[in-house]
Amino acid sequence: MGTSYSAATGRMVPHQMVTTQFELDGYRVVRTLGVVRGITVRSRSIFGTIGAGLQTLVGGNITLLTNLCEKTRAEAFDLMLEHAAELGANAVVGARYDATEIMQGVTEVLAYGTAVVVEPGK
């Protein structure tokens, strides 16, 4: 999961060029391209719900839900990086996640940040 590829531009935005900070260490922002986002909406399957219910009886980490959440966040993150590449960015600063339960068992995950063009600092 090292990079995200955008078929539209043929460019890749490396994961190491994304930060929650508003600066990227060792680089300077030369152009700000605007807000980028990746959104995905997921629901639990009936089998996942039953399996997770069984795991709650034992206690501890509910791995079925942990894996679903991780997959959903990764998908939203990659979509954000594709959006940034489409705008011509080579980095994303101020990256964040947000999640909203749209209805019972259906969750939206949004990854967002600011697409920027950076160059090595001097």
CATH code of 49's domain: 3.30.110.70
State the total domains in the chain.
1
Three-state DSSP class for 80?
Answer: helix
Residues 60, 41: Cα–Cα separation, whole Å = 26
> What is the domain range of residue 40?
3-120
Please, what is the Cα angle at 74 between 26 and 48, to 5 degrees? 160
Per-residue pLDDT of the chain (122 residues; tens, 9 = 90+): 344 445 555 566 899 999 999 999 999 999 999 999 999 987 765 555 565 565 566 666 666 667 778 999 999 999 999 999 999 999 999 999 999 888 887 889 999 999 999 999 87
pTM (predicted TM-score): 0.79
